[in-house]
Structure 1
Amino acid sequence: MNQYERLYDETEQVNVRFIGFVSEHGRYDFGIIYTQMFFGKPLVVSMQTGRSSLLSQDDIENLEDLQRVYNLRSRNEAEEVATFLRHNIPSFILESEAELG
Protein backbone atom coordinates (compact mmCIF):
# COMPACT_ATOMS: atom_id res chain seq x y z
CA MET A 1 0.00 0.00 0.00
CA ASN A 2 1.30 3.45 -0.95
CA GLN A 3 1.62 5.48 2.26
CA TYR A 4 2.32 8.84 0.66
CA GLU A 5 1.17 10.90 -2.27
CA ARG A 6 4.01 12.15 -4.46
CA LEU A 7 3.67 15.88 -5.07
CA TYR A 8 6.48 16.18 -7.59
CA ASP A 9 9.56 14.35 -8.79
CA GLU A 10 11.60 16.64 -11.02
CA THR A 11 15.19 16.63 -12.18
CA GLU A 12 16.85 19.70 -13.62
CA GLN A 13 20.32 21.02 -14.26
CA VAL A 14 20.85 24.03 -12.02
CA ASN A 15 23.46 26.68 -11.46
CA VAL A 16 25.00 26.87 -8.00
CA ARG A 17 27.02 29.83 -6.82
CA PHE A 18 29.15 29.75 -3.69
CA ILE A 19 29.92 33.11 -2.12
CA GLY A 20 31.77 33.94 1.08
CA PHE A 21 32.31 37.31 2.69
CA VAL A 22 33.51 38.82 5.94
CA SER A 23 31.94 41.76 7.76
CA GLU A 24 32.47 43.34 11.14
CA HIS A 25 29.99 40.83 12.57
CA GLY A 26 31.51 37.64 11.20
CA ARG A 27 32.19 35.38 8.25
CA TYR A 28 29.41 34.15 5.99
CA ASP A 29 29.47 31.42 3.37
CA PHE A 30 26.39 30.87 1.22
CA GLY A 31 25.45 28.49 -1.54
CA ILE A 32 22.85 29.96 -3.90
CA ILE A 33 21.01 27.38 -5.98
CA TYR A 34 19.23 28.87 -8.98
CA THR A 35 16.27 26.72 -10.02
CA GLN A 36 13.01 26.99 -11.92
CA MET A 37 11.25 25.10 -9.15
CA PHE A 38 9.52 26.96 -6.35
CA PHE A 39 8.33 29.85 -8.51
CA GLY A 40 11.92 30.62 -9.53
CA LYS A 41 13.07 31.57 -6.03
CA PRO A 42 16.68 30.55 -5.43
CA LEU A 43 17.48 28.28 -2.51
CA VAL A 44 20.00 30.04 -0.25
CA VAL A 45 21.99 27.77 2.08
CA SER A 46 24.20 28.97 4.92
CA MET A 47 27.25 26.74 4.73
CA GLN A 48 28.07 27.34 8.43
CA THR A 49 24.71 26.30 9.84
CA GLY A 50 23.15 24.26 7.04
CA ARG A 51 20.04 26.42 7.34
CA SER A 52 18.33 27.24 4.08
CA SER A 53 15.43 29.21 2.67
CA LEU A 54 13.85 30.07 -0.64
CA LEU A 55 14.40 33.80 -1.07
CA SER A 56 13.12 36.51 -3.38
CA GLN A 57 14.00 40.20 -3.20
CA ASP A 58 10.80 40.73 -1.17
CA ASP A 59 11.76 38.00 1.31
CA ILE A 60 15.14 39.64 1.90
CA GLU A 61 13.41 42.75 3.25
CA ASN A 62 11.96 40.82 6.20
CA LEU A 63 14.91 41.15 8.59
CA GLU A 64 13.22 39.28 11.42
CA ASP A 65 12.75 36.21 9.20
CA LEU A 66 16.34 36.40 7.93
CA GLN A 67 17.60 36.61 11.50
CA ARG A 68 15.49 33.62 12.56
CA VAL A 69 16.07 31.43 9.50
CA TYR A 70 19.85 31.90 9.36
CA ASN A 71 20.29 32.07 13.15
CA LEU A 72 21.86 35.54 13.04
CA ARG A 73 22.76 37.06 16.41
CA SER A 74 21.47 40.62 15.93
CA ARG A 75 19.41 42.89 13.74
CA ASN A 76 22.63 44.59 12.58
CA GLU A 77 23.93 41.24 11.42
CA ALA A 78 20.63 40.59 9.60
CA GLU A 79 20.92 44.00 7.90
CA GLU A 80 24.43 43.18 6.65
CA VAL A 81 23.34 39.81 5.29
CA ALA A 82 20.26 41.41 3.68
CA THR A 83 22.44 44.03 1.97
CA PHE A 84 24.70 41.30 0.64
CA LEU A 85 21.76 39.16 -0.56
CA ARG A 86 20.04 42.12 -2.27
CA HIS A 87 23.05 42.35 -4.59
CA ASN A 88 23.29 38.60 -5.20
CA ILE A 89 19.70 37.36 -5.47
CA PRO A 90 18.12 38.09 -8.85
CA SER A 91 14.81 39.84 -9.27
CA PHE A 92 12.33 37.69 -11.10
CA ILE A 93 8.88 37.93 -12.59
CA LEU A 94 6.59 34.95 -12.44
CA GLU A 95 5.49 33.73 -15.86
CA SER A 96 1.84 34.36 -14.95
CA GLU A 97 2.67 37.97 -13.99
CA ALA A 98 4.58 38.49 -17.24
CA GLU A 99 1.57 37.26 -19.21
CA LEU A 100 -0.68 39.72 -17.36
CA GLY A 101 1.71 42.66 -17.64
Structure 2
Amino acid sequence: MEQYERLYDDTERVNVRFIGMTTELARYDFSIMYTNSFFGKPLITCMQTGRSFLMCANDAEDVEHIQQLLHLSDEKEAISISDFFKEILPLTSMEPQYTD
Protein backbone atom coordinates (compact mmCIF):
# COMPACT_ATOMS: atom_id res chain seq x y z
CA MET A 1 0.00 0.00 0.00
CA GLU A 2 1.38 3.42 -0.99
CA GLN A 3 1.74 6.14 1.60
CA TYR A 4 0.79 9.68 0.75
CA GLU A 5 0.45 13.03 2.46
CA ARG A 6 -2.68 15.01 1.75
CA LEU A 7 -1.62 18.57 0.96
CA TYR A 8 -5.03 20.18 1.06
CA ASP A 9 -8.70 19.31 0.91
CA ASP A 10 -10.77 22.49 0.68
CA THR A 11 -14.36 23.10 -0.27
CA GLU A 12 -15.24 26.48 -1.70
CA ARG A 13 -18.25 28.07 -3.33
CA VAL A 14 -17.06 29.54 -6.60
CA ASN A 15 -18.46 31.67 -9.37
CA VAL A 16 -18.48 30.01 -12.77
CA ARG A 17 -19.04 31.92 -15.98
CA PHE A 18 -19.94 30.14 -19.21
CA ILE A 19 -19.09 32.12 -22.29
CA GLY A 20 -18.97 31.34 -26.00
CA MET A 21 -17.20 33.15 -28.79
CA THR A 22 -16.43 32.69 -32.45
CA THR A 23 -13.51 33.58 -34.67
CA GLU A 24 -13.23 33.36 -38.44
CA LEU A 25 -12.24 29.70 -38.10
CA ALA A 26 -14.03 28.20 -35.11
CA ARG A 27 -16.46 28.41 -32.23
CA TYR A 28 -15.22 28.22 -28.63
CA ASP A 29 -17.17 27.59 -25.45
CA PHE A 30 -15.33 28.23 -22.19
CA SER A 31 -16.15 27.82 -18.55
CA ILE A 32 -14.31 30.24 -16.30
CA MET A 33 -14.12 29.35 -12.62
CA TYR A 34 -13.27 32.20 -10.27
CA THR A 35 -11.74 30.89 -7.06
CA ASN A 36 -9.57 32.03 -4.18
CA SER A 37 -6.99 29.40 -5.12
CA PHE A 38 -4.34 29.43 -7.86
CA PHE A 39 -2.89 32.86 -7.04
CA GLY A 40 -6.29 34.39 -7.86
CA LYS A 41 -6.14 33.28 -11.49
CA PRO A 42 -9.35 31.88 -12.98
CA LEU A 43 -9.40 28.24 -14.07
CA ILE A 44 -10.50 28.13 -17.71
CA THR A 45 -11.81 25.01 -19.41
CA CYS A 46 -12.39 24.72 -23.14
CA MET A 47 -15.65 22.80 -23.43
CA GLN A 48 -14.79 21.43 -26.90
CA THR A 49 -11.47 19.85 -25.92
CA GLY A 50 -11.63 19.57 -22.14
CA ARG A 51 -8.29 21.37 -21.84
CA SER A 52 -7.99 23.41 -18.65
CA PHE A 53 -5.51 26.10 -17.70
CA LEU A 54 -5.00 29.01 -15.34
CA MET A 55 -4.93 32.45 -16.90
CA CYS A 56 -5.38 36.13 -16.10
CA ALA A 57 -5.47 39.11 -18.49
CA ASN A 58 -1.70 39.57 -18.08
CA ASP A 59 -1.08 35.97 -19.18
CA ALA A 60 -3.33 36.44 -22.20
CA GLU A 61 -0.68 38.74 -23.71
CA ASP A 62 1.39 35.65 -24.56
CA VAL A 63 -0.14 34.58 -27.88
CA GLU A 64 2.33 31.72 -28.38
CA HIS A 65 1.36 30.26 -25.01
CA ILE A 66 -2.33 30.40 -25.94
CA GLN A 67 -1.50 28.59 -29.18
CA GLN A 68 0.22 25.85 -27.18
CA LEU A 69 -2.52 25.58 -24.55
CA LEU A 70 -5.31 25.20 -27.09
CA HIS A 71 -3.23 23.33 -29.71
CA LEU A 72 -3.89 25.98 -32.35
CA SER A 73 -2.00 25.95 -35.63
CA ASP A 74 -3.16 29.39 -36.76
CA GLU A 75 -1.49 32.41 -35.09
CA LYS A 76 -4.33 34.72 -36.16
CA GLU A 77 -6.73 32.42 -34.29
CA ALA A 78 -4.58 32.63 -31.17
CA ILE A 79 -4.47 36.44 -31.43
CA SER A 80 -8.28 36.56 -31.55
CA ILE A 81 -8.54 34.37 -28.45
CA SER A 82 -5.84 36.43 -26.72
CA ASP A 83 -7.82 39.62 -27.36
CA PHE A 84 -10.97 37.93 -26.04
CA PHE A 85 -9.27 36.79 -22.82
CA LYS A 86 -7.61 40.18 -22.27
CA GLU A 87 -11.07 41.75 -22.40
CA ILE A 88 -12.91 39.38 -20.05
CA LEU A 89 -10.29 38.17 -17.55
CA PRO A 90 -9.18 40.11 -14.48
CA LEU A 91 -5.68 41.45 -14.06
CA THR A 92 -3.96 39.45 -11.34
CA SER A 93 -1.02 40.39 -9.22
CA MET A 94 1.21 37.54 -8.20
CA GLU A 95 0.61 37.51 -4.46
CA PRO A 96 2.34 34.58 -2.74
CA GLN A 97 -0.18 31.81 -2.23
CA TYR A 98 2.01 29.32 -0.40
CA THR A 99 3.93 30.36 2.67
CA ASP A 100 6.36 28.59 4.93
Into which bin does the TM-score normalised by the smaller protein fall? 0.7 to 0.9
Q: Note if contact 2:61-2:82 (Cα within 8 Å) is conserved in structure 1.
A: yes
Matched, 1:7 2:7: yes
Structure 1 equivalent of residue 54 of structure 2: 54
Instruction: Report the secondary structure of 1:87's partner residue.
Output: helix
Tell me the percent identity. Answer: 50
Instruction: Report the secondary structure of 2:67's partner residue.
Output: helix
Instruction: Report the secondary structure of 1:39's partner residue.
Output: helix
Structure 2 equivalent of residue 83 of structure 1: 83
Map of 1:1-101 to 2, 5 A cutoff?
3-94=3-94
Instruction: Report the secondary structure of 1:79's partner residue.
Output: helix
Q: Residues 26-65 of structure 1: CA distance to partner in whole angstroms, max 9, x if unpaired?
A: 1011000000001100001100000010002221111111
Question: What is the distance in 1 between the residues matched to 2:20 and 2:87?
Answer: 13
Q: Structure 2 length as normaliser, TM-score? A: 0.86
Question: What is the distance in 2 between the residues matched to 1:93 and 1:62?
Answer: 16
Q: Which runs of 5+ in 2 are unaligned?
A: none
Q: Which runs of 5+ in 1 are unaligned?
A: 97-101
Tell me the number of residue pairs that the alignment of Structure 1 and Structure 2 aligns: 96
Q: Note if contact 1:52-1:70 (Cα within 8 Å) is conserved in structure 2.
A: no
Report the alpha carbon displacement of residue 7 of structure 1 after superposing the two structures with TM.
Answer: 1.5
Question: What is the distance in 2 between the residues matched to 1:7 and 1:29?
Answer: 32
Instruction: Give the alignment's Cα RMSD to 1 decimal.
Output: 1.6
Query: Which one is further off, 8-17 or 58-67?
Result: 58-67
